[in-house]
Amino acid sequence: GYTREAGCCVTATAARNKMDLIAVVMGSPTKKQCFDEALRVFNKGFSSYQPLFAVRKGDVIATDVPVKYGEPRFVRILAGEDLSVVAQKGAKRRFSLDLSLTGDLQAPLDASAVVGKVVVREDGREIGQVPALTADAVQKHVRFWERFF
């Protein structure tokens, strides 16, 4: 767009290699310069930065989480979504993952049941959360005598 006060302005988005960028350019004297600057910002962003995944969908977060009345008695917990940050190419960052269950797990449970969240931290600061899912279904264990009552 254009106004006398702000000059030529553009807001644009671009996606490449699982990374989305936003460019906001204001105050350009011409529309061509405005779009050229947005293109320069995108080229710089895509050449200098990359998505860095803290956790990937399907990553095993915990093994052997107990399931009350479950058969099997334990279940694996998986990350339900990807979580990434934008980082300079070649950067090394360390993330920690904390599993926060909604409570004690109790059978029956479906496969991919949401049972809590995975909290992702960097340097002790929370940077995001993804759902925590059961890896497999867990049936309710019925004792022999319970079948008759």
pLDDT the model gives residue 28: 94
User: 81 pLDDT exceeds 90?
Assistant: yes
Q: What phi-psi label fits residue 34: left (phi over 0), alpha (psi between -120 and 50 degrees) or beta?
A: alpha
Percent of the chain scoring above 70 in pLDDT: 95
Number of H helices, E strands in the chain: 1, 13
104/6: higher pLDDT: 104
Higher pLDDT among residues 149 and 100, named by residue: 100
pLDDT in tens, 10-31: 999 999 988 999 999 999 999 9
Confidence at residue 147, expressed as pLDDT on a 0 to 100 scale: 52
What average pLDDT does range 35-57 have in this prediction? Answer: 96
